[in-house]
Amino acid sequence: MRITALAGGIGGARFLRGLLAAEPAAQVTVIGNVGDDITLHGLRVCPDLDTVMYTLGGGIHEGQGWGRADETFSVAQELGAYGVGPDWFTLGDRDIATHLVRTQMLEAGYPLSAVTAALCTRWKPGVKLLPATDDRAETHVVVSDGEGRRAVHFQEYWVRLHAPAAESIAFVGAEQAKPAPGVLEAIAQADLILFPPSNPVVSIGAILAVPGIREALASSEGPVVGLSPIIGGAPVRGMADKVLAAVGVETSAAAVAEYYGADLLDGWLIHEGDAVQADRVRAAGIECRALPLLMTDTAATAAMATAALDLAARLGKK
Amino acid sequence: MRITALAGGIGGARFLRGLLAAEPAAQVTVIGNVGDDITLHGLRVCPDLDTVMYTLGGGIHEGQGWGRADETFSVAQELGAYGVGPDWFTLGDRDIATHLVRTQMLEAGYPLSAVTAALCTRWKPGVKLLPATDDRAETHVVVSDGEGRRAVHFQEYWVRLHAPAAESIAFVGAEQAKPAPGVLEAIAQADLILFPPSNPVVSIGAILAVPGIREALASSEGPVVGLSPIIGGAPVRGMADKVLAAVGVETSAAAVAEYYGADLLDGWLIHEGDAVQADRVRAAGIECRALPLLMTDTAATAAMATAALDLAARLGKK
């Protein structure tokens, strides 16, 4: 079974771990978000790709869901002593090694997809991990506060500003970006495509902003099944409510399904407590099931993945 | 009193600490060797400049004489796990922060002299630390072993190969290099100039290889006084014997004085145990004193510095 999944950071990575537990024999390709990527201290940092790689490769800090286990912070402490900013984004020492390898390879001319493949030869995540694009396409958020109205990089919005009200979202560079090698093929050749419970705007949305990917999904033979990241009218974690508001979408499981639309989504899983919204999803032309959607452990997450695969199997080829 | 000193790494840095203890009111300018500099993992590393900066700024690992105190090695461990070389040069995490700041500033277009000044705003070494040149001038060593006859970077010669017999030394790029801003002025305006007990070939010699510096020293008004790094026919530490042989110079206190020559050196301090060589030094036209030259602690080193200053005072203006 060939499965292609779009993924952001923590939510996507944890779902993928459940998927691999449920279907260890599946050939899984992951199209990872690069909209959060940022250059800090001259190092190219790809938080979502690394979260997937570390989570599936056994290197993740389980408690926080991002960054490396057994991390140390000597470099960050010294950068602080030099007064070199930004002080709101702390890179761990082990993590920095990943960024050093990546930055060197990028400077040597390798595309991000090749760099990611090289890093994965160490981590062996059990999936084929592809960046959505090898080009720069950065998610910026327009905010208005005491510092004025301005667009900030997503990391500044989330990590420094702690996700205040957002006016709008821009995927800077996305219009000129091309899908990375293998991305369109992975969508076209998949038996089914999954949208894990990742942020619909700044994770899945940033991937969809790369021209060609939305069209490939809309015309894929395999059904597309998603899992709601919104439970009980709120994101399980993160700031999806803030960025959904910025694109004029209500924070509810049904509204996110409508936002993706029936041209993208064939099936949508919502949390059992949101079952009352299932008819609204179906009215949008999207099949819907309600079941427990909290990724409390790998077994619970595997059950979610199995439910998504079951729904896809019922939907069959488009 | 304006003192200008040429310096390599550990020996130079320790001597300078003694000098500052002996003459805390002196205005000391240090012209540091950059021939050992190397780019590793995309990071520009300046071992001798950093050894001087860390030693005088209180950040040095006292036991080994180079690198940071309380160092950690998470990044290096991870780079090893990625299989990214070279594995024979280990960068500590705290040290890496220095290289990150330096590399970013260099990539932003700042010359090494400005970068060094910026780093020193943190370390406050109590001297004005200047690189010999802002240009690339790297010390390479021609060796011949099982891997064939070839030129290797000084760091590979010393750290990886452990200083085998050397055929010759090349200061690659030095001919086209210019002295960094302030270097020639510091020599011209000094009341006296010191050659600490640094390696005559790959430390002091690499500085002298930058066109203009040797000439400035030969025509300086202030006397030039050096301290022998050779005691009892052997270097106190390092591989001076090997690189002296490569330039056809015997490993003795007197031979090093002759190698510099009376056009550069006005006075030369040799170890008390080498007192028999004093007449040979004087025969070369260089004033000479024999006294204890082991830098066993700061007090002993300060006494050496005082002896050098006393000899310079006796010699007076040229």
pLDDT tens-digit readout, A18-37:
999 999 999 999 999 999 99
B79 with A101: Cβ contact below 8 A: yes
CA-only gyration radius of chain B, Å: 19
A79 with B97: Cβ contact below 8 A: yes
Low-confidence ranges of chain B (pLDDT < 70): 318
- DSSP assignment letter at A133: B
The single residue listed with the structure tokens 């024979």 is B88
A103 with B71: Cβ contact below 8 A: no
pLDDT tens-digit readout, A130-147:
999 999 999 999 999 998
Distance between A176 CA and the closest CA of chain B, angstroms: 26
B100 with A42: Cβ contact below 8 A: yes
A82 with B43: Cβ contact below 8 A: no
Which positions in chain A touch B61 (Cβ < 8 Å)? none
Sign of CA dihedral B237, B240, B241, B242: positive
- Split at pLDDT 50, 70, 90, the class of A45 is very high
pLDDT tens-digit readout, B267-301:
999 999 999 999 999 999 999 999 999 999 999 99
Instruction: Report pLDDT for B115.
Output: 98
Nearest CA in chain A to B122: A82
Tell me what the pLDDT averaged over chain A comes to. 97
B104 with A72: Cβ contact below 8 A: no
Extract the tokens encoding B227. Answer: 């301290």
B98 with A84: Cβ contact below 8 A: no
pLDDT tens-digit readout, B175-190:
999 999 999 999 999 9
Contact (CB, 8 A) for A223 and A192: yes
Nearest to A84 among B96, B101, B107 (CB): B101
Instruction: Report pLDDT for B308.
Output: 98
B93 with A74: Cβ contact below 8 A: yes
Which positions in chain A touch B100 (Cβ < 8 Å)? 41-43, 75, 79, 84
- Split at pLDDT 50, 70, 90, the class of A317 is confident
Beta strands in A82-215 (DSSP E): 128-131, 138-145, 148-153, 168-172, 192-195
Which positions in chain B touch A82 (Cβ < 8 Å)? 97-98, 101, 119, 122
Contact (CB, 8 A) for A28 and A120: no
- DSSP assignment letter at A211: T
pLDDT tens-digit readout, A47-62:
999 999 999 999 999 9
Distance between A15 CA and the closest CA of chain B, angstroms: 26
The pTM assigned to this predicted structure is 0.94
Distance between A130 CA and the closest CA of chain B, angstroms: 19
**Does ipTM surpass 0.90 in this model?**
yes
- Split at pLDDT 50, 70, 90, the class of A85 is confident
The alpha carbon of residue A5 and the mean position of all alpha carbons in its chain are separated, in whole angstroms, by: 9
pLDDT tens-digit readout, A92-119:
999 999 999 999 999 999 999 999 999 9
Task: Name, in order, each residue with C-beta under 8 angstroms of A147's C-beta and a sequence gap of 6 or more.
Answer: none
Mutation target to probe the A interface, by most A beta carbons within 10 A, among B50, B73, B77, B93 is B93
Quick one: what percent of chain A has pLDDT higher than 90?
97
Nearest to B72 among A74, A97, A103 (CB): A74
Contact (CB, 8 A) for B29 and B6: no
A81 with B122: Cβ contact below 8 A: yes
B71 with A75: Cβ contact below 8 A: no
* pLDDT surpasses 90 at A316: no
Which positions in chain B touch A119 (Cβ < 8 Å)? 82
Instruction: Report pLDDT for A116.
Output: 98
Which one-letter amino acid corresponds to residue A165? Answer: A
Which positions in chain A touch B107 (Cβ < 8 Å)? 42
The alpha carbon of residue B312 and the mean position of all alpha carbons in its chain are separated, in whole angstroms, by: 21
Mean pLDDT of A193-210: 98
pLDDT tens-digit readout, A247-300:
999 999 999 999 999 999 999 999 999 999 999 999 999 999 999 999 999 999
